[in-house]
Each structure stands twice: as structure tokens, then as C-alpha cells.
Structure 1
Amino acid sequence: MLNRIILALVMVLGLGGAAQAGQVCNETSFMVEAAKAWRTPTGLAVEGWARIAPGGCAEIGPATDTEQYLYARTTRAYLGGVREWRGSLDICVDEADFSFEGVADCDLLGLETRKFRQLSDAERESAVLVEVADFGDRAEEAGLQRLLQSAGYDINVIDGYAGRRTRRQVTAFESDLGRSFGAERSELIEALHQRALERNSGLGLQVCNDANLPVGVAVARAVGDGFETRGWWRIAPGGCAQTLSAQLTGDETYIYAQLIDGDALRPLASGTEAFCITPARFTSQARGACETSGFQPALFRAAPAAENGGSLMRLDLDDFEEPLP
């Protein structure tokens, strides 16, 4: 961990310069966190997370003439789970605010990867995040409506048009909070966001590693009439990962894990449900005949029953099979 902190500090200091910043604007109805990467003589520089309110903008990285890449995600304030704006290039990120340059081996520093989208020439100075509804200059009002809804207030339609229902629910929130915001829209949105985070950030499935070795985790979840399986989350000893962020309502979630013991992989013991996996990162809707699709079968264990929309699973050494002789 000390080596990681020292290396990160060196990389942050290497990002200095007086270059003009590039802008990222949020025309969605969500509070988002954005990260940007750009080419430098020593490799890719990347920094995040810039939190951008609906209808707002933030300056992230320089507006350079070199290639630039962007990734954004919603915060965990929303009932439907985290949404992403992404591309196809894997780039290292950290969970907390970060700034790196020239990092290629994410695992060495305990970093995760996210898929960034390459920006066009026109987007280098100003990139815009949008959603299907294309709210444009109505994004702030739409964001207010969505936060009211996520905080538990009676909003049925997210349309970005101010109406009596929205005003009544704002008044109800102010009454519950014991504070009137008046014309301070940014403070109102920030307070609503905090309320929605407190209400919803415990949703989904969190997996914690209580072993003294890293683990890789895959998750299977009921989707429609079938299941979707995703992997892998690498979790360091003593760490946790939010593998699902949507509200859980029943016994529809299963977990598989591998303890990384040197060059050996020790599988999770006592699994009962078969799903398909691969050694590399994957998403699969297949459950049977895994080999015919280039996958391999693995036995998953049911996640603990959800409480208030969330579930926590802790793994230690006793949860894994003994290494082969």
C-alpha cells in the first residue's frame, strides 16, 4: 500500500502544467462522476472523479490536440443502479478521486479498469453527456425530478418541465428537512442528492474479502426469464466491492469466487447452482452447455437474502476449497 501511495504521488506531480482545461457538460437527468484520459509522451494520463450535476459542466484535464477518452457513471443515488457512459478502451481508475500518468499495470497498484470512449476532435474542448430523452437545457429540472423520485417523493414522470407536482414535492422535502432553499437550486439538488444517497447506496450486492489473499468474484442475477452472469471483480485482502447496485428483492442472486493463491486458483466451496464463466472478463446469458459457447461451468453459491434491497457477503479462507496437491 505504501508503494502504491508513493507511486501515485509521483504520477500526480507529473501532471503539472498550465494547459487550458477541457470541459465536460451533463445534459442528463442524473448526477454523474466523470473521468478523462489523454495521451502524453509517457503514456496515458487519467484523472477523475469530477462530479457534475444535471445541467452543469466541469473542467477535466487539458484541452489537448492529442487523443482523449471519457468515461462517466451515475452516482449510487438512483434506484435503477449505476448507469455508465463508456466505450471500448480499458483504462485504470481508482474508486476515490485520483490522478495518474503512465500506468499500464492496473493490478500492480490494486486499481480497477473502466472502458473509456475516444472523443472526437470537436469534443476535446467540450464534451456533452446525453441520454435517450435528450433533455438539453431541461436537464437541471429533469435531474431535480429524478432525485425527488429516488429520495422517495411522489414523482411519476421525468420530463424536465416544471409543474405543480414537482413544486409540491420540493415543498414536502423542504418540510421534512426543516429548511427552505428558495432560489438556491444548486443547494437544493445537492441536499436531495445526499438524501437519495443515504436512502439507496445500501442497495445491491456487496462482497467483502476477509481472507489474507486476493479473490476474483463473479455474480449471476435473474434478469427477465433467465440469468445474466458477469465477472470479474478483483478484491484485495480486507477490501469490498459493490458488484450489483440495483435493488434486490429476493433470492435471485448467486456468487462464484476464486482465491488467488500464488499461481493456483482455489474455487469457492459448497456451490450449488451451475453458471458459465471464462478466465477473462465476461458477460454471459448462457447457463447450460457452457463449453459449446467457449465458456466453462462453475458452481455458484446463493447470496445472503436481501434486506431493504441490499445484500452483503463476506468471504474468508474457509469458504474456498483446499489447493490441489
Structure 2
Amino acid sequence: MFSSIFSRSVAALAAFVSLSLAGAGPATAQGAGEKGWELCNKTSYVIEASVARYEGNGVVVEGWERLRPGSCELALAGPLRPGIHYLFARSSTAHRGGRRIWGGDFPLCVDTTGSFSVESPKECTAMGLESRDFRPVLIENRTEWTTSFTETEEFDSEQAAAAGVQRLLADAGIFNGNIDGYIGRKTRAAIGEFLTQNELPAETSDSDLIDVLEQIAQDRGRNIGLTLCNRTRNRIWSAIARRKGEGWESRGWWLLESGGCARVIDEPLLTAEHFVFAEMEDNGRTRTLKEATDPFCLARTRFAIMGRKDCGAAAFREGLFKATPPAENRRLLYEFFERDFKEPES
């Protein structure tokens, strides 16, 4: 019940997020009455997972299994067929900073818009599907197997549930404390404020609280910030630049799959200028944006760089960014189309 999170305090853990899949083993999840492949979410994010298995001469892919923070769900009923299976997962669109991805390097087709079960074809687009890179998972037991999603410092199930509430409170604009799995006075006050504002009873269950928070955070995210969307057939690596204090900041990278979007600024936009950078992968070659004339600094890995001069002297490279239209009502949706890119470089 909600009161268990509201009143319980658990040990604090580091909030820095580096997401991974924990090693798999025989299932030990509490209350698991049904045997099969179980997925456990030990992160502070709401996760949507897709699994795949060999069947006949092909690979059957199914999704999406929704996992609240701290919960375990059966993704594939037993008896299991020992051998390689596949797993891909994404965080809910309610969370700020773009979607987190748990995957690997084995491409399979998925339906990104809703629940699906399909035998993965060679060409995803022929069936209106999109390619995602799955991670192989070796299942060695016919009756039960568990795979856990974790963060850098692993939460147990109770800590993950508490941290999940904290994160969703922050995503909904109600909480600005640490995402540490510790329900202290500040978190309790934020939960109480949320319940009062939404006329919810104190007996609201943990799962219902997470569900309502997720919906409100999703609605809020649609109304603020900067969102980048890929309307091309290829993958795009994107970055942004904007005024930051008295200077300039460039920040990246966000990988945009075909048809995918990422909310890259999670706060109301100011009237100041914003700029975008994008490189499209096209059959092993790179295509850059047309009409990109404003130089900012870029790095090879994920970056946040203050200033825009002497990039080379600071071991960065310089890239040309394109100015966006002005924000309207504190938000901006920027879409990349095929026509926005130059022909591939030889």
C-alpha cells in the first residue's frame, strides 16, 4: 500500500545513473506462482520491455511488458527452451532527459506504438515495424529464469520502488530532491502535496501512485521543453546548443531512431536562441544538416560543453549547428526530415 512507501525509510544510495542488465539466474522473485522468464526492475525508472525467442525457422518478438520500479513481471511463460533469447527495453516517456535504452547489438523488428507479437522479418519497414538492437540472454533452466534491470548502485526492490516515486515526482514538477530511494521528510511532503492536489486518498497503493504520477509526468512533458524527432528512414545522432547564463552551452548526444523522439530540455524554454546539430547515418556514410552555419563545440562521447570558442584547443571538434524557430508557449518540437540533410559525403 501507499502508506508503506510514505512512511518507510530505506538506506540512501548514489543517484548517478548508469543503466545495465544484471546477470540472469534461476528465478527467486517473491510471489512468482507462474514459471517462466521473469524480468525484475531494480531501477528508478518505469520500463517497457520486449523479449524474443527462436521458434520454428524464425525469431518471435513480443512487447511491451511494463515494469514499475521495484516490480517483477513474467515476460515469457514456461516451460522455457534453454538457449539464447533476446531482450530490449526502454524507459517510459514520462521521464525527463530522453529515453534510456537497455539493449545490445542484435537487430530485431518491433512495433514502437503498442503491444505486439510478430515473427521478425528481414526488412522491418515492409511490415510497418522498426529495428531495435536487442541483447542476447542465455537461459539455462527450463522452468524458471530471472533477468534484472539495474542502475550503477543497485537498489533492492523496496529501494527501487521508493526511488521510482521520487523520480516521477520530479518528472511531474513536484519534487527537486535526490533520487536515492530514501523516503525522508522532503519526499513525504512532496507525496502529501501530490495526493492533496489530485484529491487522492492516503491509502492509495504504491502501484496506483506510480501509475498516476507517470500519466501526469507524461502530460507535463508534452507542454514544456525542447523535443527532437526523427522523421527520416535512418538513425540520427543529435545535439543542441543554447544560451546558458552569460555564455553558451552545447550538449549531446541523443540517438534518434527512425520515427523516434527525445525530449532534450526538460524545463520551460526561454525566448533565447536554440540551435540543433544532426548527423544522419546513410548506408555507411554521413549526411549533415543543410543551412547549418553557427559553430559550437562537440565531443566524441556524451558531453556538456560551456563556451563555443577554441574548440580544438580544448580537445573538442567544431560542428555547425542550425538555428531553430522560436519557442512558443515555452516549448518547441523540432523535426528532422530527409530534405533537411545534404547528400551523403563520399
Instruction: Tell me the alpha carbon deviations over residues 92-131 of structure 1, each in whole angstroms, 9 at most, x when there is no partner.
Output: 2221222211422123334322222222436972111111
Match of 1:279 in 2: none
Match of 1:26 in 2: 41
Matched, 1:167 2:191: no
Match of 1:51 in 2: 66
Instruction: Tell me the alpha carbon deviations over residues 71-109 of structure 1, each in whole angstroms, 9 at most, x when there is no partner.
Output: 222112122332122222222222122221142212333
Contact 1:215 1:257 in 2 (8 A): no
Contact 1:77 1:201 in 2 (8 A): no
User: How far apart in 1 are the matches of 2:290 and 2:54?
Assistant: 44
Decide which of 272, 276, 290 is 1:254's aligned counterpart: 276
Change (3 A) 1:163 1:71: same
Change (3 A) 1:85 1:308: farther
Considering Cα pairs closer than 8 Å and 6+ residues apart, tell me whether 1 or 2 has the greater RCO. 2
How far apart are residue 159 of structure 1 and its match?
2.3
Instruction: Tell me the alpha carbon deviations over residues 120-170 of structure 1, each in whole angstroms, 9 at most, x when there is no partner.
Output: 436972111111131113211121122112212234122223333222221
**SS of residue matched to 1:108:** helix
User: How far apart in 2 are the matches of 1:163 and 1:229?
Assistant: 34
User: How far apart in 2 are the matches of 1:102 and 1:20?
Assistant: 25
User: How far apart in 2 are the matches of 1:143 and 1:284?
Assistant: 24
Match of 2:131 in 1: 113
Contact 1:42 1:101 in 2 (8 A): no
Contact 2:83 2:140 in 1 (8 A): no
Matched, 1:126 2:146: yes
User: How far apart in 2 are the matches of 1:109 and 1:218?
Assistant: 25
Match of 2:21 in 1: none
Change (3 A) 1:60 1:217: same
User: How far apart in 2 are the matches of 1:55 and 1:214?
Assistant: 36
Matched, 1:81 2:98: yes
Identity %: 31
- Give 5+ residue unaligned stretches, structure 2: 1-33, 243-247, 313-317
Matched, 1:220 2:242: no
Match of 2:258 in 1: 234
RMSD of equivalent CA atoms? 4.1
User: How far apart in 1 are the matches of 2:139 and 2:120?
Assistant: 23
Matched, 1:104 2:160: no
User: How far apart in 2 are the matches of 1:231 and 1:140?
Assistant: 28
Contact 1:76 1:201 in 2 (8 A): no
Contact 2:241 2:276 in 1 (8 A): no
Q: Which amino acid aligns with 1:311?
A: L
How far apart are residue 319 of structure 1 and its match?
5.5
Matches for 1:1-325 after TM superposition, within 5 Å: 21-62=36-77, 63-96=80-113, 97-121=115-139, 125-138=145-158, 139-201=160-222, 203-207=225-229, 209=231, 217-222=236-241, 228=252, 233-235=257-259, 241-247=260-266, 251=273, 253-256=275-278, 269-273=290-294, 301-306=322-327, 310-314=331-335
Contact 1:268 1:321 in 2 (8 A): yes
User: How far apart in 2 are the matches of 1:95 and 1:51?
Assistant: 13
Match of 2:16 in 1: none
**SS of residue matched to 2:193:** helix
- Give 5+ residue unaligned stretches, structure 1: 1-18, 236-240, 277-281, 290-296
User: How far apart in 2 are the matches of 1:165 and 1:144?
Assistant: 13
How far apart are residue 304 of structure 1 and its match?
3.2
- TM (normalized to structure 2)? 0.66
Match of 1:15 in 2: none
**SS of residue matched to 1:167:** helix
Alignment length (residue pairs): 282
How far apart are residue 54 of structure 1 and its match?
0.8
More helix by share: 1
User: How far apart in 1 are the matches of 2:226 and 2:140?
Assistant: 38
**SS of residue matched to 1:82:** coil
Contact 1:155 1:165 in 2 (8 A): no
Q: Which amino acid aligns with 1:106?
A: C
Change (3 A) 1:23 1:204: farther
Contact 1:155 1:166 in 2 (8 A): no
